[in-house]
A and B are shown apart, each in its own frame.
Chain A
């Protein structure tokens, strides 16, 4: 259930995002989800790609600092309050969300999904699996275009 995410250190300067996307493009790595967490001068670019190992290797080779870590992909279903229910479920059980960002998979009728990093990932998986929310398996995220 855990999705491999790449985190890349990035300076808040013109052209630095495209430097990274160029590396991925040249390596034929497709980006599924993307978000930047930043401060005034620097930030962390977080991406989910179809070929995480290949993407990480290409970025490292190009001189970037890359960390691979694991996140959850959740389909909260596209209705009012559903995201609130996900967050409430986790917080009621003392699971803290470190960060969250959303993305869309083309074969999901355009309904938004969320990437979620919890402090206790195992517990989060257990809670979400036991509820009505569906966790997207990593194969589905990586291989979206091949479905």
Chain B
């Protein structure tokens, strides 16, 4: 199997030297150009010059989504706006999204790290890749597209949804690579069978590159079996770069982190102390080649562990295990990040409904579905069923605007929602653990 870049085979010692050099450059860059970081470092009593080794990184303050929210939209950018060539955004914890910007060089880095990851997944210039992520503000689709083109693969930017058309294009264009969330890929396989098309015999897929949501080995087995493909998983988030932080090789021993661009640490989410290699904890990432919005020690809130023992594939980079959970209450619905606080913000802004609501997340077939029960408390709505219908539609459309997904809304009688210890249980996740 091909390895895209020699950088992926550097000795650990050489890599650490390069990481330190790039870290120093990044720290100076944010200290000079981002007033918020300048203040944050000052408050913590550290200066870039105090960082004398990679180990010293732990003395720097952590960054969270809250810092991005406070600096909405551009105050964490480290370059003038005219140097930004691309914007993306992801879910914030409230109504406002989290915004990121890329310089020309950031775009080059992004293409490079994606090229490595798709190569790990088996893709070559001979392949045709169908991207079923939505092209838009989310980073998934555009990120993969650029890296695939860099490798020389053909890209079909079909975007999300329209399942039957996906299958038709897949067959007619002879797609060999499927890109998307694992749950949508399972849904597509089922849809193909329903259309009377055997995914293994009548389609041409060889590889599946999946991300945007966590997956399990059981899910991989199911995907490989249903499509007759080799599936790999990759990881990233818009705050760090988008997809491209890490990806699986054909040895399937975790996701190789592009360590010459990202420094990974594992911390205890409670004490915030850095944990030794192999410990399970929260992943903290510091991008060390970014210009547009370089975040220092960004808390991903994802739970995983790191492994730097040599991999069969020949790459020397550290590998992260599959994400096993979150340290916050973020939900991933069909690859879209949703915070219960966003939903609450929308509901509390609508007249006539109570502050009691319940979010249920379930699987409809292979697809995630979110259902929200809201208590009707305003008697003036009882003038006509039409008023209740309008309320229902208002909730649905406002949630769609903020979350970017459709939620099923159910108006329920007041005080009908389950309460535990006097407090309503807000989120019930009914998706089975092993899928």
Same complex origin of A and B = yes
Residues in A lying within 8 Å of B, measured CB to CB: 7-11, 16, 37-39, 41-44, 63-67, 69, 98-99
Determine the distance from Cα of A124 to Cα of B388 in the docked complex, in whole angstroms.
26
B413-424 near A? 1/0 per residue, CB < 8 Å:
111100000000
Instruction: Give, as a whole number of angstroms, the nearest-CB distance from A94 to chain B.
Output: 19
Instruction: Give, as a whole number of angstroms, the nearest-CB distance from B305 to chain A.
Output: 45
Is B44 on the interface with A (CB-CB < 8 A)? no
Chain B residue at minimum C-beta to C-beta distance from A69? B383
Q: Which 10 A-B pairs have the closest CB atoms?
A: A7-B382, A67-B379, A67-B382, A63-B415, A42-B411, A9-B376, A37-B385, A65-B379, A44-B382, A39-B385
Q: Is the CB of B413 within 8 A of A63?
A: yes
Could you list 7 A-B pairs, sorted by A, with CB under 8 Å? A9-B388, A9-B414, A39-B389, A41-B410, A64-B414, A65-B376, A65-B377
Chain B residue at minimum C-beta to C-beta distance from A66? B379
Q: Which of A39, A43, A63 contacts B414 (CB 8 A)?
A: A63
Q: Is the CB of A11 within 8 A of B412?
A: yes
Chain B residues touching A, majority SS: mixed
Supplied contacts A37-B384, A66-B379, 20 more A-B pairs, CB within 8 Å: A7-B379, A9-B376, A9-B381, A9-B382, A9-B388, A9-B414, A11-B416, A42-B385, A44-B382, A63-B415, A64-B414, A65-B376, A65-B377, A65-B379, A65-B382, A65-B413, A65-B414, A67-B383, A98-B384, A99-B384
Instruction: Give, as a whole number of angstroms, the nearest-CB distance from B412 to chain A.
Output: 6
Determine the distance from Cα of A103 to Cα of B381 in the docked complex, in whole angstroms.
25
Is B380 on the interface with A (CB-CB < 8 A)? yes
When distances are taken between beta carbons in the complex, the residues of chain A under 8 Å from B382 are 7-9, 44, 65-67
When distances are taken between beta carbons in the complex, the residues of chain A under 8 Å from B411 are 9, 11, 41-42
Is B378 on the interface with A (CB-CB < 8 A)? yes
Q: Is the CB of A16 within 8 A of B413?
A: yes
Instruction: Give, as a whole number of angstroms, the nearest-CB distance from A66 to chain B.
Output: 6
When distances are taken between beta carbons in the complex, the residues of chain A under 8 Å from B412 are 11, 42
When distances are taken between beta carbons in the complex, the residues of chain B under 8 Å from A8 are 382
Determine the distance from Cα of A43 to Cα of B385 in the docked complex, in whole angstroms.
7
Chain A residue at minimum C-beta to C-beta distance from B387? A44
Determine the distance from Cα of A38 to Cα of B386 in the docked complex, in whole angstroms.
10
Interface residues on B, range: 10 to 19
Determine the distance from Cα of A66 to Cα of B414 in the docked complex, in whole angstroms.
11
Most chain-A Cβ atoms within 10 A of its Cβ — which of B378, B380, B382, B385? B382
Chain B residue at minimum C-beta to C-beta distance from A43? B385
Instruction: Give, as a whole number of angstroms, the nearest-CB distance from A57 to chain B.
Output: 13
When distances are taken between beta carbons in the complex, the residues of chain B under 8 Å from A98 are 384
When distances are taken between beta carbons in the complex, the residues of chain A under 8 Å from B383 are 7, 67, 69
Q: Is the CB of A10 within 8 A of B413?
A: yes
Q: Is the CB of A64 within 8 A of B413?
A: yes
Instruction: Give, as a whole number of angstroms, the nearest-CB distance from A24 to chain B.
Output: 16
Determine the distance from Cα of A65 to Cα of B140 in the docked complex, in whole angstroms.
45
The answer to whether residues A11 and B385 also contact, given A65-B378, A67-B379, A67-B380 and a CB cut-off of 8 A, is: no
Instruction: Give, as a whole number of angstroms, the nearest-CB distance from A23 to chain B.
Output: 12
Chain B residue at minimum C-beta to C-beta distance from A39? B385
Instruction: Give, as a whole number of angstroms, the nearest-CB distance from B253 to chain A.
Output: 49
Q: Is the CB of A11 within 8 A of B413?
A: yes
Instruction: Give, as a whole number of angstroms, the nearest-CB distance from A116 to chain B.
Output: 15
When distances are taken between beta carbons in the complex, the residues of chain B under 8 Å from A38 are 385
Most chain-A Cβ atoms within 10 A of its Cβ — which of B383, B412, B413, B415? B413
When distances are taken between beta carbons in the complex, the residues of chain B under 8 Å from A65 are 376-379, 381-382, 413-414
Determine the distance from Cα of A65 to Cα of B356 in the docked complex, in whole angstroms.
14
Determine the distance from Cα of A42 to Cα of B414 in the docked complex, in whole angstroms.
13
When distances are taken between beta carbons in the complex, the residues of chain B under 8 Å from A41 are 410-411
Q: Is the CB of A9 within 8 A of B385?
A: no
Chain B residue at minimum C-beta to C-beta distance from A9? B376
Instruction: Give, as a whole number of angstroms, the nearest-CB distance from B92 to chain A.
Output: 31
When distances are taken between beta carbons in the complex, the residues of chain A under 8 Å from B379 are 7, 65-67
Determine the distance from Cα of A42 to Cα of B382 in the docked complex, in whole angstroms.
11
Instruction: Give, as a whole number of angstroms, the nearest-CB distance from A19 to chain B.
Output: 9
| B351-377 residues at the A interface, CB under 8 angstroms | 376-377
Instruction: Give, as a whole number of angstroms, the nearest-CB distance from B25 to chain A.
Output: 58
